[in-house]
Structure 1
Amino acid sequence: MSTALLDARRPVLADLVPARVFRGAAVRDAALIVGASAFVGLAAQISVPVPGSPVPVTGQTFAVLLAGSALGAWRGLAAMVLYLGLGAAGMPWFAEGTSGTGFPTLGYVFGMVLAATAAGFLARRGTDRSPLRTAGTMLLGNAVIYAAGLTYLAHDLGISMSQAYEIGMRNYLFGDAVKIVLAMALLPSAWKLVGRRG
């Protein structure tokens, strides 16, 4: 990655939402954070059980990475901390309407906190403006989610990492590829729609 890309500080999509509509930037940011948390919670309910695995196929990871990219790092982090905190406290908006902390897929949610932050950090440097850079951001985000998710899954179930891979990642890669292709279309198209490239 070039030094110019690392040093660049560009707007993210959330920055284009006028603060005056919400009577100030703080209220706007709070509304975006709450809205992103709810978006992830709704996407998590798009859930298909996978036989032999505690990990369902959901729309959750797609929503997390889109939200992180659109919000930027700190708002993405705040949205996912809110999502995790409320879900742990009893809000039934984890996958399959679950809540609390006593389930083997909790590590994926921890990974989503980190992935949203990373996606937002990279989007602030313009990686959501082109399809290929968007794909790179989504791949990195998915890798972070899987790293945390599989590690926790293996520990919680008392299985090896290779077994965790078999039940918690291998069967999901095609779906992840589809989500990445969708993101490659959506994020750059959003920037073209608003007419802001810089």
Structure 2
Amino acid sequence: MSAVATSAVATSASIARPRVLADLVPGALVRDLALVAAGAALIGLSAQVVLPIPGTPVPFTGQTFGALLVGSALGWQRGAVTMLLYLVVGAMGVPWFEGGSSGLSGVTVGYLFGMLLAATVVGALAGRGGDRTVLRTAGTMALGNLLIYAVGVPGLMIIAGMSLPAALAAGVVPFLIGDAIKIALAAGVLPASWALVKRFQR
């Protein structure tokens, strides 16, 4: 086989190899549109899991887990578009933000934009194998959570008029255990999904 043919075969194999879980779904544009819509709906559904926490205006929700999971499964481009769709439609009045709310206002708005950043970065890392093993997935999800806080905490400081220590105490510390549980769940679900894919591809 010539060098040109070998290169073409290698390129074809590279293109066919799935980089994120969504690549396993057949189709192109229609598939992507369906996945983006389904991803936004999943995030909206997870945002309805709300647990108020005494001493902080920021509730515990399943929203961050939904955003990170969608970013990992769809990849950075589809993940970013999914979060943008979620934000835009919610800003227009669809009540699928936390607890059935809508509109880009309130103390959690910074966290919403943090989820956009996190879903994009987590999706990029997943495309490089960041969701294939337990340790890699845990690291990817931990970074995603940090990015959400990196945008959410300054937003909380501005909107609620809090100092940095107060914002950290109200907007980070109460959620660390819950975040650890979410990371553990993702570290189990995503690598297990890839293991199943490999098993059925044999």
Q: Give 5+ residue unaligned stretches, structure 1.
A: 1-8, 20-24
Alignment of 1:28-107 (within 5 A): 28-107=31-110
CA distance in 1, matches of 2:167, 2:159: 10
Deviation of 1:98 (Å): 0.9
Aligned match for 1:17, one of 25, 29, 35: 25
Deviation of 1:10 (Å): 5.6
Q: Which has the larger radius of gyration?
A: 2
Deviation of 1:101 (Å): 1.8
Contact 1:91 1:99 survives alignment (8 Å): yes
**Sequence identity of aligned pairs in percent?**
55
After superposition, the CA RMSD in angstroms is: 1.3
Q: Structure 1 counterpart of 2:25, which letter? A: V
- The number of equivalent residue pairs is 184
CA distance in 1, matches of 2:58, 2:79: 23
CA distance in 2, matches of 1:81, 1:161: 28
Q: Structure 1 counterpart of 2:167, which letter? A: A
- TM-score norm. by structure 1 comes to 0.90
Q: Structure 2 counterpart of 1:138, which letter? A: M
Deviation of 1:52 (Å): 2.2
Q: Structure 2 counterpart of 1:57, which letter? A: F
Alignment of 1:183 with 2:191, yes or no, is: no
Q: Structure 2 counterpart of 1:27, which letter? A: V
CA distance in 2, matches of 1:55, 1:26: 37
Q: Structure 1, residues 65-106: CA drift from partner, whole Å, max 9, x if none?
A: 110000000000000000011111111111111111221110
CA distance in 1, matches of 2:20, 2:182: 20
Contact 1:10 1:126 survives alignment (8 Å): no
- TM-score norm. by structure 2 comes to 0.88
Aligned match for 2:111, one of 108, 111, 134: 108
Q: Give 5+ residue unaligned stretches, structure 2.
A: 1-16
Q: Structure 2 counterpart of 1:104, which letter? A: V
Secondary structure of 2:129's match?
Answer: coil
Contact 2:18 2:24 survives alignment (8 Å): no
CA distance in 2, matches of 1:72, 1:127: 11
Runs of 4 or more above 4 Å deviation: none
Secondary structure of 1:195's match?
Answer: helix
